[in-house]
Amino acid sequence: MPYIHEFGIIACIEKDKEYAAYEPEKYNCIGVDGDLFDELLSKDFGKKIHHLETFAHNTNRPFKSLAYWGITLIPPSSHKQFLNMVSEANVEYQSAELEELIKKIADAIKQDKWMIHYGV
């Protein structure tokens, strides 16, 4: 069975809310194939992602990286760094899924909104 990592934009972040429910439709998520994501993690992208400042499940739980098996909240302050990482990875992979993720991150930057990541 294929597995994917999903990324969306949160219209209004709720401080202290536990983002534990799987609701990709609510956040208009796009998917990145799990095999592609695993390949990225095994490369330079994987080293860089561990420096990305995020939150695990709620805004009170600072985290670094993306929760592979869980839910990650990505604040606007981390979007440019995340965009640069994905853009650099896409130079090598030329992936339509990574192009969609680049667009999603760019939209989050324009809107100054938080992003959500659902791991596998």
Q: Which of 59, 67, 111, 104 is nearest to 82 (CA)?
A: 104
Q: Encode pLDDT of 15-45 as tens digits.
A: 989 999 999 999 999 999 999 999 999 998 9
Q: Hey, what are 59's tokens?
A: 């805004």
CB atoms within 10 A of CB 103: 11
The predicted model scores a pTM of 0.95
C-alpha 53/C-alpha 14 separation (Å) is 18
Ramachandran region of residue 8, left (φ > 0), alpha (ψ -120 to 50) or beta? beta
pLDDT digits (tens, 9 = 90+) for 43-73: 989 899 999 999 999 999 999 999 999 999 9
Query: What is residue 87's predicted lDDT score, i.e. its pLDDT?
Result: 96
The DSSP symbol for 40 reads: H
User: Average pLDDT, stretch 85-105?
Assistant: 96
